[in-house]
Amino acid sequence: MSQVVLQLQNIHKKFPGVHALKGVNFTLRAGEIHALLGENGAGKSTLIKVMTGVYQRDDGDILLNNQAIFPNNTGDAQALGISTVYQEVNLLPNLTVAQNIYLGREPRRFGLINWTKVNQDAAQLLKGYDLDIDVTQPLSSYSIAVQQLIAIARGVDMSAKVLILDEPTASLDADEVQTLFRIMRDLKARGIGIVFVTHFLDQVYAVTDRITILRSAQLVGEFETATLSRAELIGHMLGKELAALGEHKPQAHATSGDALLSVQAISRQATLSPTDIAVSKGEVVGLAGLLGSGRTELCRLIFGVDKKHSGNVTFHGQPVNFSSPRDAIIAGMGLCPEDRKHDGILGQLSIRENIILARQVKQGWWKFISRKEQEEIANNFVKELSVATSDIEKPIEQLSGGNQQKVILARWLAANPSLLILDEPTRGIDIGAHAEIIRLIRKLCDQGLALIVASSELEELVAFSNKVVVLRDRQKVTELTGDEINPQRIMQAIAAH
Amino acid sequence: MLNRKFIPLTITCCLFFLLFGIGSVQFEGFGSTQVFFNLFSDNAFLIIAAVGMTFVILSGGIDLSVGAVIALTGVVCSVLISRYQLHPLIVFPIVLIGGTIFGAIMGAIIHYYKMQPFIVTLAGMFFARGLASVISEESIPIEHEFYNQVSAFGFEVLGGAWIGSSTIICLVVLVIAIITAHYTRFGGRVYAIGGDANSAALMGIPLAQTTIRIYAISAFLASLAGIVYSFYTFSGYSLAAVGVELDAIAAVVIGGTLLTGGYGYMFGTLMGVLIMGVVQTYISFDGTLSSWWTKIVIGLLLFCFIALQQLLIKTTPR
Amino acid sequence: MSLSSNQHLRRYLWPCAGLLVLFIINAIISPEFFHIEFKDGRFYGSLIDVLNRAAPVALLAIGMALVIATAGVDLSVGSIMAIAGAVSAYFITKGVDSLALIIGAGLVAGLIAGIINGFLVGYMSIQPIVATLILMVAGRGIAQLINEGQIVTFDHPGFAFLGTGSFLGLPFPVVLVIITFAIVQLLTRRTALGLYIEAVGANPSASRYIGLNEKAIKMSVYCVAAVCAALAGMIAAADIRGSDANNAGLWLELDAILAVVIGGASLMGGRFSILLAIIGALIIQTLTVTIILSGIPPKYNLLIKATAIILVLLLQSPLFQKQLSQLKFWKNKKEMNNA
Amino acid sequence: NVQALTVGFAQVGSESGWRTSFSESVKAEAEKRGITLKFSDAQQKQENQIKAVRSFIAQRVDAILIAPVVETGWQPVLMEAKRARIPVIILDRNVAVTDPSLYLTRIAPDFEVEGQRAATWLTEKTGGKCKILELQGTVGSSAALGRMKGFNATIAKFPETKIIRSQTAEFTRAKGKEVMETMLKAEGGGKNICAIWAHNDEMALGAIQAVKEAGLQPGKDILIVSVDAVDDALKAIVSGEINVSVELSPHLGGPAFDVINEYRAGKKDFEKWIHMGGAVFTIENAAAELTKRGAK
Ligand SMILES: Nc1ncnc2c1ncn2[C@@H]1O[C@H](COP(=O)(O)OP(=O)(O)OP(=O)(O)O)[C@@H](O)[C@H]1O
Ligand SMILES: Nc1ncnc2c1ncn2[C@@H]1O[C@H](COP(=O)(O)OP(=O)(O)OP(=O)(O)O)[C@@H](O)[C@H]1O
Ligand SMILES: [Mg+2]
Ligand SMILES: [Mg+2]
């Protein structure tokens, strides 16, 4: 068996009011891909941040090649050969793509940075990820998925002994995921140890060698991937059987057939060609497409975040022309954006405030929702979506990524919309909560809510869509209904030329 | 094709020359090389201080202490030179090192105690000015042969304009700063911290070291500006350069740097200073404005300029 | 529940402790400091003076707290004070007698200034520091223009009451601060406005998705700040029965910002507390009184101020608290060893 | 001469009523004589003043008037003016230069003398027995330093005349009131205080309000001594609230233009300091002066 590179022993970490790691052990060998699994808020990201010096451990030892290390920050960890891609995309929107990739290790000539080389190398590196973009543009001009790939490319390029990937695939398409796996296997062959956090069990079985599972800040155990069954794995993660989650199979549900939203030839220069889409009450319309196919753009245009350059929108039978999200919200829409960190959370505000804000806006500022009612709403959603928190007054930034996502979902559900647009709604959500959310969505649809869901996960789209609209190159290519909705057909539509 | 990220900077440059052109048409003697180079020699200390400020603002911080550091430097220089008869070339390293340490301490407090730059440097401003007035409330003239030589140094360019030592120093500082900001790893770190300090830390940028260095550089340049200021006035005075920090901030921002950090160019700062200088020159050439109209017109010109800048940048097709 | 109330208390603890320490120092320097007597229908004493003198900065701080919560800053409040003072003095000297008209004119002047600031910041997206710098420079000029460069003195007992009168035994400026505080507190905490302001400050981009009108919110906070400043300006003018356009409110914007930050707010926006901002203003004023009472030569003023500010802020810093407790720990240990 | 003169005037700013009267008086005088005046307001900043002077040089004006912010710091720019052969006249505060030929003359009052005269009046009035509260001008300003020096030197001869508290009120009315309020509280309500010595009228005017609010009568219970003799102060003298104010004449324009004319007519050596004496105003002569000023 290959040799141990990184070993964590009896790690403890406390935050005010939360004991986030209670004596966790973890062992990573050279040349293995090691899955770190657990529910939202189990402590995965915290463990990773302790390993890399972002947080200081309260107790325990970290050994790198059998030597105790005390990293004080990411820089120290990098110097020791540990490279990390953190859960939220942590790159710098103001710098160019190339600068982001080489920040802190730019190639120099005569002591000065050689920008030509930086740009060439960056472009070359990204080609390996099938990403052919202008690396001299600021990072902020690319979608969150592209940013995630860039972050991965940076992390992989720097890895010397250990590479840590915290939910790198959360907003990637199947194709990109395959590319990533190919690269991970390459690194593995070169003897690099890889820690891989994900909530997609298929991916765990596709690429990892061993699995460490955390539950409620504690270690459940370490397993060989090959010998652990899916049911056992879920059982270990949730502490209960999969059966308790309800089935995960597609289930047709009734739609009323009354048109709710009808969009004709909506377009915006340089971002979306004229596209039609119609949604009825109780219907779920899935948006499928590759990275950059225009799903996010379409959602933003409907919701009035961006100004449309042409097209008509009818909502509730009335022609509407939203000049801002506020109009859309008051008319009864909601949009849960894909970039959680940038467009979703209000970091310093409490969970309660984050949940009630959209509803408050809908009601108007003078009709203040009383504190009691706010707490009621927040507590309800926290329970219903099983947000792991001790207190609804905690700032949302202190929640784990998946739990933040649940709170943002709750925000939009709390606003009682008649049409809800979800852009990658289950990013980073664990399988238990995933099932919970799908069940919730179905329940709401039965009550007449209509949904537009953009998702990179075909399984998920298939699971609850009545209709799937496929986009390619910022254009609608086809619309699938009924039996046509299956992963193969969607893949064909996406890929066809 | 012009790179689109340079469009705002280009627009700013064009507006400067437009302003200068208007003055030249309107007043005799305005459109001379003398007036143009006076902009540099009159504002040399401001350019140097604003260059330091640019580093700070690019990193998302702010340094309110520069004006006070300029004054303190002047006072210390004049006391050491005039009272203690030290040679300026001994005094300068002392004040420059002292200034740098002062800045480093502010940077360390900001980083380690997680305090806001605005407040720490405001306290730094009170401290430096307070120290200056404790050392000497009165202004102290500097009389030293070296000062005369330095101020006599320079050369004439066409049109009778004089390029003196202050102009040379400030241009050298500017060039070094441009190289540092855009061609060194340190410069990259400054932009990185300004973009998002948390992300930068997660990408492995040494926050402590970088923050301390940034404030040390700013204070070092403020001290240097203090020395240049002392060449400008041959004296040290605890009330000198009041409000220079605001001028420097305004120059940096007019030059297109975002106060929230992460975006901007060193060269823009030079343009910012020159623009404010042209406005001032314009007003004194006019010479009919009363005290209050002077203020109102400065405000109006500033507004017109910024509004025009915004408008042009927004409507320029990308 | 326990966590939230705890955090809430902690925010108030350190600024209050800072204020208390200053009070105690003052009482040591001048034993009369806490002495309050009731005379001619009003309270007298150094403590009352502190409240009274802190009133203008407290008013500025109320508005500034809101502006800072949106991640902005308003440098023009000092100049707006001067404008409002000049406008009301102008009306008085022009023979207007109606107090409502005079005060109304001052407030309207402030409101106009606020609309200008709000427009530049909210609708033209000019960075707050520069946007308000414009009015900071030009505003003082406008005030001087109104006064024609002179200090305009006036005699209007009704208006002077704003600065020197008393109500329920308290100096009238203090009463005005209390009223303003109550109104702003009601507006921000009994409606959703406060939450909106904090949301815009915490994450402008996310606020857009929630449907908040960032521009309108910014406009309104700059207006509130300017109206508060106008009120402060009239108090200052009423106090000396004259409008001193050049000096009224000079550099007070820095004091107001300082007050808000001493009260624990972040200049990057987000959470705000108006009460804490007022406590910040009290700390600054108490410090000024301390310096005057101590009889230390004025040239040391700034050094003392700098030291005090750093100390008050250090006390609020968790790391410093930890270091302090370690220090105590070491000392205890030493004593134990000695014993 | 046929060609009208162009004169540049670098003024400090407009920080006080006195300063504004000074600027206005120079402007009025220039207009009367048909001189084109290039006025520049430096907003209390020396660097702005130097810039203004350099732009006057670039404009090739016929003469430059400078009312300096501070004494020091003028050597380099005055040398430039000399090189350009433009005569310079200093108004009000002094300049410290090694080479007196850099300027023609200085037309100004003497701050130290002002302090002395204020002190002399006070010691005579009180017979050398007095506890004084001092309101200083802006820390480090030459007016504050000069007046302090003159005043202190004079009272030093009277051991029982003492300044018991001294604090800056930055030459402003509001600060004057605020600082005095606190000082009086600290001195047990001010019953033992014999006089307030303010470095300018503005602070004195603020201080009398504080005295009144403390329940004392300014001018009677506490003597008020100050400098400048601006209109508001004269009115206060007439109503008995200020006891004495030493005049600082703002009419420096006339003599300055006289000097320029003489210089152009060929006169080269001027007295280096043309003193502008001011009267000392008390209840006896204030009313008369007021009517005189009103008449003008
Ligand atoms: N900075 C912080 N301050 C306070 N509590 C925190 C902080 N960071 C994390 N926590 C808490 O620690 C616990 C573990 O969080 P962590 O982010 O490690 O979860 P995770 O396993 O990565 O979950 P997810 O799958 O949702 O990303 C959570 O209860 C979270 O609320
Ligand atoms: N593979 C790629 N190559 C080049 N540019 C891309 C690529 N993927 C995305 N982009 C850029 O990202 C921008 C944003 O795309 P958008 O967010 O609309 O995509 P999407 O369909 O929502 O997909 P996703 O949300 O998965 O990124 C596009 O305008 C495009 O310029
Ligand atoms: Mg996580
Ligand atoms: Mg998308």
Instruction: Say yes or no: C309 and C284 in one domain.
Output: no
Half-sphere exposure of A262 (CA within 13 A, CB side): 8
* Residues paired with B29 in a beta bridge: none
Show the tokens assigned to B66. Answer: 């520069």
Are residues A282 and A448 in contact, defined by beta-carbon separation less than 8 angstroms?
A: yes
Round to whole Å and give the CA distance between A180 and A33. Answer: 13
The answer to whether residue B317 scores a pLDDT higher than 60 is no
Residue range(s) defining the domain that contains residue C267: 43-295
Contacts of residue D232 in chain C, CB cutoff 8 Å?
151, 153, 242
Nearest residue (by CA) to ligand 2, atom 15, is: A292
Share of chain B above pLDDT 70, in %: 97
Show the tokens assigned to C155. Answer: 């005699």
The whole-angstrom distance between residue B162's C-alpha and the CA centroid of its chain comes to 21
Burial A94-112 (b: 16+ CB within 10 A, else e): bbbbbbbbbbbebeeeeee
Does B24 fall in a domain? no
Q: Taking every pair of C-alpha atoms in chain D, what is the biggest distance, in angstroms?
A: 68
Interface contact B202, partner A, CB < 8 A: yes
| pLDDT score of B318 | 44
Are residues B259 and B253 in contact, defined by beta-carbon separation less than 8 angstroms?
A: yes
Contacts of residue B47 in chain D, CB cutoff 8 Å?
none
Instruction: Say yes or no: C72 and C178 in one domain.
Output: yes
Are residues A104 and B189 in contact, defined by beta-carbon separation less than 8 angstroms?
A: yes
Nearest residue (by CA) to ligand 1, atom 19, is: A41
Instruction: Say yes or no: A177 and A266 in one domain.
Output: no
Q: Kindly indicate the confidence band of residue C2, based on its pLDDT and cuts at 50, 70 and 90.
A: very low
Instruction: Say yes or no: C276 and C336 in one domain.
Output: no
Residue range(s) defining the domain that contains residue B278: 37-142+150-313
Show the tokens assigned to C144. Answer: 């001087």
Closest CA to C257 of B253, B64, A346: B64
- What single DSSP character describes residue D96? -
Contacts of residue C292 in chain D, CB cutoff 8 Å?
167, 179, 182-183, 186
* Token pair 């030929």 in the structure block, residue: D101
Least confident range from A17-26, B220-229, C79-88: namely: A17-26
* Helical packing angle, D17-33 and D253-264, nearest 10°: 40
Instruction: Say yes or no: C203 and C314 in one domain.
Output: no
| pLDDT score of B1 | 39
| pLDDT score of B308 | 79
Instruction: Say yes or no: A414 and A481 in one domain.
Output: yes
Site to probe by mutation for ligand 1, drawn from A11, A13, A19, A46 as the one with most ligand atoms within 8 Å of Cβ, is A46
Of C151, C236, C298, the CB nearest to D168: C298
**CATH number for the domain that contains residue B59:** 1.10.3470
Contacts from C85-88 at CB under 8 Å and sequence distance 24+? C85/C143, C85/C233, C85/C234, C85/C236, C85/C237, C85/C243, C85/C244, C85/C245, C85/C248, C86/C142, C86/C143, C86/C144, C86/C146, C86/C147, C86/C152, C86/C237, C86/C243, C86/C245, C87/C146, C88/C159, C88/C234, C88/C237, C88/C243
CA of A260 from ligand 4 middle (Å) equals 23
Instruction: Say yes or no: A317 and A378 in one domain.
Output: yes
* Ligand 1 site residues, Cβ closer than 6 angstroms: A 15, 18, 20, 38, 40-46, 87, 388, 398-403, 428, 430
* Token pair 């975040």 in the structure block, residue: A305
What is the mean pLDDT of the segment spanning C247-271? 89
Does C241 fall in a domain? yes
The secondary structure of chain C in percent helix, strand, coil, rounded to multiples of 5, reads 75, 5, 20
Does B137 fall in a domain? yes
Residue range(s) defining the domain that contains residue A85: 4-94+138-228
Does A118 fall in a domain? no
Instruction: Say yes or no: C267 and C333 in one domain.
Output: no
Ligand 1 atom showing the smallest separation from residue A46 Cα = 18
Closest CA to A337 of A306, A368, A310: A306
Domain count for chain B: 1
Does A176 fall in a domain? yes
User: Given an 8 Å threshold on Cβ–Cβ distance, is C211 in contact with A411?
Assistant: no
Instruction: Say yes or no: C200 and C333 in one domain.
Output: no
Does A114 fall in a domain? no
Contacts of residue B126 in chain C, CB cutoff 8 Å?
302-303, 305-306, 309
Burial C178-191 (b: 16+ CB within 10 A, else e): bebbeebeebbeeb
Does B192 fall in a domain? yes
E strands in C210-276: 242-243
* Token pair 């942590």 in the structure block, residue: A90
**Angle at B203 (CA atoms; ends B201, B208), nearest 5 degrees:** 30
Nearest CA in chain D to B276: D48
CA of A140 from ligand 2 middle (Å) equals 12
Instruction: Say yes or no: C166 and C214 in one domain.
Output: yes
Does C15 fall in a domain? no
Last residue of a domain, one of A206, A228, A250: A228
Round to whole Å and give the CA distance between B19 and B305. Answer: 9
Q: Which residues surround ligand 4, an ion (CB under 5 A)?
A: A 295-296, 338
User: Given an 8 Å threshold on Cβ–Cβ distance, is D73 in contact with B235?
Assistant: yes
Task: Looking at mean pLDDT, say which of A448-457, B282-291, C62-71, D258-267 comes out highest.
Answer: C62-71
Does C290 fall in a domain? yes
Does A120 fall in a domain? no
| pLDDT score of A250 | 45
| Stretch (H or E) spanning A176 | helix A174-189
**Angle at D47 (CA atoms; ends D45, D50), nearest 5 degrees:** 115
Domain count for chain C: 2
E strands in chain B: 140-141, 154-157, 161-164, 235-236
Does A233 fall in a domain? no
A133 lines ligand 2 (CB under 6 A): yes
| pLDDT score of A61 | 93
Instruction: Say yes or no: C322 and C278 in one domain.
Output: no
Are residues A369 and A356 in contact, defined by beta-carbon separation less than 8 angstroms?
A: yes
Round to whole Å and give the CA distance between C27 and C35. Answer: 9
- What single DSSP character describes residue B6? G
Q: How many beta carbons lie within 10 A of that of residue D255, not counting itself?
A: 17
User: Given an 8 Å threshold on Cβ–Cβ distance, is A393 in contact with C191?
Assistant: no
Amino acid symbol at D60: R
Q: pLDDT in tens for each of the 296 residues of chain D? A: 446 889 999 999 888 888 888 998 999 999 999 999 999 998 888 889 999 999 999 888 999 999 998 888 898 899 999 989 999 999 988 888 888 899 999 998 888 999 999 999 999 999 888 999 999 998 777 888 899 999 999 999 999 999 999 999 988 898 999 899 889 988 888 888 999 999 999 999 999 999 998 889 999 999 999 999 988 899 999 999 999 999 888 888 899 999 999 999 988 888 888 888 788 999 989 999 999 887 55
**Angle at C54 (CA atoms; ends C48, C56), nearest 5 degrees:** 130
Q: How many beta carbons lie within 10 A of that of residue C211, not counting itself?
A: 24
Does C18 fall in a domain? no
Instruction: Say yes or no: C80 and C190 in one domain.
Output: yes
Show the tokens assigned to A22. Answer: 């209670």
Show the tokens assigned to B183. Answer: 């061609």
Round to whole Å and give the CA distance between B200 and B208. Answer: 12
Q: Kindly indicate the confidence band of residue C68, based on its pLDDT and cuts at 50, 70 and 90.
A: very high
For D281, phi then psi, to 5°, come to -100, 130
Are residues D115 and D276 in contact, defined by beta-carbon separation less than 8 angstroms?
A: no
Instruction: Say yes or no: C48 and C177 in one domain.
Output: yes
| pLDDT score of C66 | 97
User: Given an 8 Å threshold on Cβ–Cβ distance, is B195 in contact with A95?
Assistant: yes
Round to whole Å and give the CA distance between A324 and A330. Answer: 10
Round to whole Å and give the CA distance between A119 and A121. Answer: 6
Instruction: Say yes or no: C255 and C328 in one domain.
Output: no
**Angle at A363 (CA atoms; ends A360, A367), nearest 5 degrees:** 85
For the CA atoms of D209, D211, D213, D215, the dihedral, rounded to the nearest 10 degrees, stands at -150
- Which residue in A45, A50, A94, A341 has the most chain B C-beta atoms within 10 A of its own C-beta, making it the best mutation to test that interface? A94
> How far, CA to CA in Å, does C148 sit from each of C89, C103, D14?
12, 21, 10
Round to whole Å and give the CA distance between C267 and C284. Answer: 18
Site to probe by mutation for ligand 1, drawn from A398, A404, A427, A431 as the one with most ligand atoms within 8 Å of Cβ, is A398
Q: How many beta carbons lie within 10 A of that of residue A225, not counting itself?
A: 18
Ligand 2 atom showing the smallest separation from residue A130 Cα = 1
* Token pair 């120059």 in the structure block, residue: B251
pTM: 0.89
Interface of C with B in 187-216 (CB under 8 A): none
* Token pair 């006035």 in the structure block, residue: B233
> How far, CA to CA in Å, does A327 sit from each of A297, A324, A427, B135, B218?
18, 6, 27, 63, 47
Instruction: Say yes or no: A204 and A319 in one domain.
Output: no
Residue C333: CB partners within 8 Å, gap ≥ 6?
none
Taking any CB pair shorter than 8 Å as contact, residues of chain D touching chain C are 13-17, 20, 23-24, 136, 139-140, 165-168, 170-175, 177-179, 181-183, 185-186, 188, 202, 205-206, 209, 213, 232
User: Given an 8 Å threshold on Cβ–Cβ distance, is C267 in contact with B123?
Assistant: no
Ligand 1 atom showing the smallest separation from residue A55 Cα = 1
Instruction: Say yes or no: A384 and A485 in one domain.
Output: yes
Closest CA to A214 of A23, A405, A16, A436: A23
Are residues D237 and D201 in contact, defined by beta-carbon separation less than 8 angstroms?
A: no
* Helical packing angle, A401-414 and A351-363, nearest 10°: 20
| pLDDT score of A89 | 79
Closest CA to C75 of C216, C254, C240: C254
Interface contact C146, partner A, CB < 8 A: no
Round to whole Å and give the CA distance between D176 and D136. Answer: 9
| pLDDT score of B239 | 87
A299 lines ligand 2 (CB under 6 A): no
A16: exposed, middle or buried (C-beta count within 10 Å: 0-12, 13-18, 19+)? exposed
Q: How many beta carbons lie within 10 A of that of residue A366, not counting itself?
A: 10
**CATH number for the domain that contains residue A397:** 3.40.50.300
| pLDDT score of C338 | 61
Q: pLDDT in tens for each of the 497 residues of chain A? A: 578 999 999 999 998 878 999 999 999 999 999 999 998 889 999 999 999 999 999 999 999 999 999 999 899 999 999 999 998 878 999 899 999 999 988 998 888 999 999 999 999 999 988 888 999 999 988 888 889 889 999 998 988 899 999 988 877 888 888 989 999 999 999 999 999 999 888 899 999 999 999 998 899 999 999 999 888 888 888 876 655 554 444 455 556 667 889 998 899 887 888 889 999 888 889 999 887 788 999 999 999 999 888 889 999 988 999 989 999 999 999 999 988 888 999 988 999 999 999 999 999 888 899 999 999 999 999 998 888 888 899 999 999 888 999 999 999 999 999 999 999 888 788 888 888 778 877 888 888 889 999 988 888 888 888 889 999 888 888 888 888 888 888 888 887 75
Helix (H, G, I), strand (E, B) or coil at A313: strand
Helix (H, G, I), strand (E, B) or coil at D270: coil
Q: Closest Cα of chain B to A255: distance in Å?
A: 45
Round to whole Å and give the CA distance between D150 and A114. Answer: 66
Instruction: Say yes or no: C243 and C317 in one domain.
Output: no
- The dihedral sign for the CA sequence C205, C207, C211, C213: negative
Nearest CA in chain B to C317: B113
| pLDDT score of B123 | 93
Chains that touch A (3 or more CB pairs under 8 A): B, C
Domain count for chain A: 2
Q: Kindly indicate the confidence band of residue B47, based on its pLDDT and cuts at 50, 70 and 90.
A: very high
Contacts of residue A369 in chain C, CB cutoff 8 Å?
192
Q: Kindly indicate the confidence band of residue C7, based on its pLDDT and cuts at 50, 70 and 90.
A: low
Contacts of residue A122 in chain B, CB cutoff 8 Å?
none
Round to whole Å and give the CA distance between A158 and C59. Answer: 54
CA of D137 from ligand 2 middle (Å) equals 66
Interface contact A45, partner B, CB < 8 A: no
